[in-house]
Amino acid sequence: MKRRNFLATGAFGAAATALAAPAIAQDVMRWKMVTAWPKNLPGPGVAAQMLADRITTLSGGRIEVQLHAAGELVPGNGVFDAVSEGTAELYHAVPSYWGSKSKGILLFCSQPFGLRADEQFGWLAHGGGQALYDEMYARFGLKPFLCGNSGPQMAGWFRNEINSVDDLKGLKYRTTGLASEMASKLGMASQAMGGGDMFQALQTGALDAGEFIGPWSDSALGFYQVAKFYYWPGVGEPSSAEECAVNAEVFNNLPDDLQQAVALACESLYNPVWTEYTTKHAQSLQMMIDEHDVQLRRLPEDVITAMGKAAAEVIDELRQSDDELVRNITESFLSYRDHVGRYMTYADNGQMNARAAVLGY
């Protein structure tokens, strides 16, 4: 099976092009959505188009959103700046890409040994996270919303087997966000890159391993062609939230009903996007095992233990940040994680453990 055409542009594509100001004709606002993804990439590319369509629908057609995939107007890693500067109205990406702006941003996407998809939404909606999310992004002229989640990540694709924590040292590994800092503390050479670049780097040996999203998106990008060992669990990213950010000036100038339409479009997609990932991940993982001889392996216990210690160091450094807002975000995250996590021992974890004891899964 050949790689799909998703690699043609890559997640971090061509150079930026100057964009025109938003066109308004007959009371219709035409917005440009720039994304970090190749067009229609299963998972995030599909979700981005769903969001563009839903904003258009819920606004009654008063906002027409045209999606521009990575590299069409700006490179995938340039969408944050494009919207912040007003050259596009909104973007679809993940917060994990913006650690160079502030380490505090990284907690709104995923955290090593952190929140699951439902917990991540719960933190923002009910645990004070959204106010902190808004405060952080306001620094950059953005209004942020979560709009989906890919669920638990895998540890990734490895060219060779991992038998102990010593096998990680010096390993060239693609990942992003706080997971990259955890990996670095274990002696791995962490690198951030798009899915197409990751395929090529694994193929040539420039990378030894890497994680991208999960079985649905990973199978579409063909990683199983260049690395057969697929490791779990992805403790670096127990979930990975997708976000939409709108230029704050543009958003604030909308009438109240259209602000609510944009917010509702994002919120209403979180669960459908997450559950679609879950369904398609399960189907795709079985397909890769059955049809492509993918070797599914569990990380050794000493590796998971070492990752846990490294993750604790990463979070402790955030707690000691010179930036008060980063400290506040970290403490809010920890409070919610620990409070809900203790409950999950009896709730979801209890149910899953009981089901596994009876059914074996």
Report pLDDT for 11. Answer: 36
Task: For 305, list phi and psi in degrees, rounded to 5.
Answer: -60, -45
CA distances from 259 to 52, 64, 251 (A): 15, 14, 7
* CA–CA gap between residue 80 and residue 69 (Å, rounded): 14
What are the residues whose beta carbons fall under 8 Å from the beta carbon of 204, sequence distance 6 or more? none
* CA–CA gap between residue 107 and residue 350 (Å, rounded): 26
85: DSSP letter? T
Report pLDDT for 164. Answer: 97
Question: Counting beta carbons within 10 angstroms of the beta carbon of residue 23, is it exposed (0 to 12), middle (13 to 18) or buried (19 or more)?
Answer: exposed
Quick check: 150 and 214 in contact, CB under 8 A? yes
Report pLDDT for 222. Answer: 97
What does the buried/exposed string (b/e) look like for 116-132 if buried means 16 or more CB atoms within 10 Å of the residue's CB? bbbbbbebbeebbbbeb
Alpha helices in the chain (DSSP H): 44-58, 79-84, 117-126, 129-138, 177-185, 195-204, 215-221, 248-252, 256-292, 301-319, 324-344, 348-359
CA torsion through residues 258, 264, 266, 272, sign: negative
Task: Tell me how crowded residue 20 is: count the other CB atoms within 10 A of its CB.
Answer: 8
Token pair 């694994």 is at which residue?
202
Helices then strands, each counted (H, E), the chain: 12, 12
Report pLDDT for 27. Answer: 86
- What are the residue ranges spanned by the domains of the chain? 5-151+239-279
CA distances from 48 to 45, 126, 157, 360 (A): 5, 25, 25, 36
Residue range 5-151+239-279, CATH number: 3.40.190.170
Q: How many residues are given for the chain? A: 361
Report pLDDT for 64. Answer: 98
Mean pLDDT by 10 residues, the chain (361 residues): 40 36 65 96 97 98 98 97 98 97 98 98 98 98 98 97 97 97 97 94 98 97 97 97 98 98 98 98 98 98 98 98 98 98 96 96 94
Give percent above pLDDT 90 in the chain: 93
Token pair 């808004």 is at which residue?
134
Q: If DSSP codes are grouped into helix, strand and coil, which group holds residue 47?
A: helix
Question: Counting beta carbons within 10 angstroms of the beta carbon of residue 81, is it exposed (0 to 12), middle (13 to 18) or buried (19 or more)?
Answer: middle
Report pLDDT for 347. Answer: 96
* Structure tokens, 255: 């009438």
Quick check: 41 and 6 in contact, CB under 8 A? yes
pLDDT tens per residue across span 295-332: 999 999 999 999 999 999 999 999 999 999 999 999 99
